[in-house]
């Protein structure tokens, strides 16, 4: 469904940090196309094409992994998907909202997640 398509771009931290962020979103959006794997990459990406009807509150929090370094996360998709991703990440990690940009049918939001 188009309401759940989401692209996530991550920079900072390592592949383990990127995987932790992507796993935090799985409860809300289902499995991504693939988990970040390249240990030498400086930017990681994941795309969520489907989704579950799981509540964002059920996907983060106590089971969330810790980050080893600050990670800048940019989420891009429909306004509803971006809102759900932002809510999920701010529940799972300590986050600072670094702003948003809106287009006709898409929205983009940047968050800084800190350990």
pLDDT in tens, 2-45: 456 899 999 999 999 999 999 999 999 999 998 998 999 999 99
Q: Are 57 and 68 in contact (CB under 8 A)?
A: no
**pLDDT: which is higher, 43 or 58:** 43
What is the pTM for the complete model shown?
0.84
Q: Coil, strand or helix: which one is 42?
A: coil
State the chain's mean pLDDT as an integer: 86
Instruction: Identify the DSSP state of 33.
Output: S
Residue 58: pLDDT band (50, 70, 90) is very low
**pLDDT: which is higher, 99 or 4:** 99
Residue 79: pLDDT band (50, 70, 90) is very high
Residue 8: φ, ψ to 5°: -120, 125
Residue 64: pLDDT band (50, 70, 90) is low
What's the average model confidence in pLDDT over 54-63?
A: 44
Strands 94-102 vs 107-114: parallel, antiparallel or unpaired: antiparallel
């Amino acid at each position: 469904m188009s309401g759940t398509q989401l692209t996530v771009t991550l920079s900072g931290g390592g592949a383990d940090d990127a995987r932790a962020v992507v796993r935090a979103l799985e409860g809300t959006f289902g499995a991504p196309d693939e988990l970040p794997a390249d240990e030498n990459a400086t930017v990681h990406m994941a795309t969520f094409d489907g989704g579950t009807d799981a509540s964002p509150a059920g996907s983060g929090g106590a089971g969330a992994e810790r980050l080893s370094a600050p990670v800048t996360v940019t989420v891009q998709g429909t306004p509803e998907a971006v809102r759900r991703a932002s809510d999920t990440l701010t529940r799972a990690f300590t986050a600072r909202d670094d702003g948003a940009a809106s287009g006709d049918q898409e929205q983009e939001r940047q968050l800084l997640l800190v350990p």
